[in-house]
Amino acid sequence: MARYRVEMKSTVLIDIDESKFTDEFMEQYRQLIDPGFCEVRDHAGLLAELAVGGIIENGCFVEGYGDLNQQGIQLVELPKIETEAILRDGEHI
């Protein structure tokens, strides 16, 4: 059996209405979901990961955000995933 390491690069373009991420929303999110989320940038990163994993799409409900459209979150483009390298275990670039 051979083991391969596949290195990939993902790009996700997301529009976020930052006015929806009020101090109250951010504090409630930190209390209920993740205390490390201090900036809208943190949310953009998580939402991008969920989009790349095929877990979210426009208009869906996401725990902590509710309906993405109502929270002012729009995936502008489908995630683009590019393969950077496919290496057999032990190979080096």
When the pLDDT of each residue in the chain is averaged and rounded to a whole number, the result is: 92
pLDDT band at 77 (very low <50, low <70, confident <90, very high): confident
What is the spatial distance between Cα 68 and Cα 60, in angstroms, rounded to a whole number?
A: 6
Average pLDDT over residues 75-92: 84
- In 3D space, the residue among 5, 24, 18 whose CA is nearest the CA of residue 88 turns out to be 5
Q: In angstroms, rounded to a whole number, what is the distance separating the alpha carbons of residues 72 and 17?
A: 5
What's the average model confidence in pLDDT over 47-56?
Answer: 93
Instruction: Return the pLDDT at 33.
Output: 96
pLDDT of residue 46: 96
pLDDT of residue 31: 97
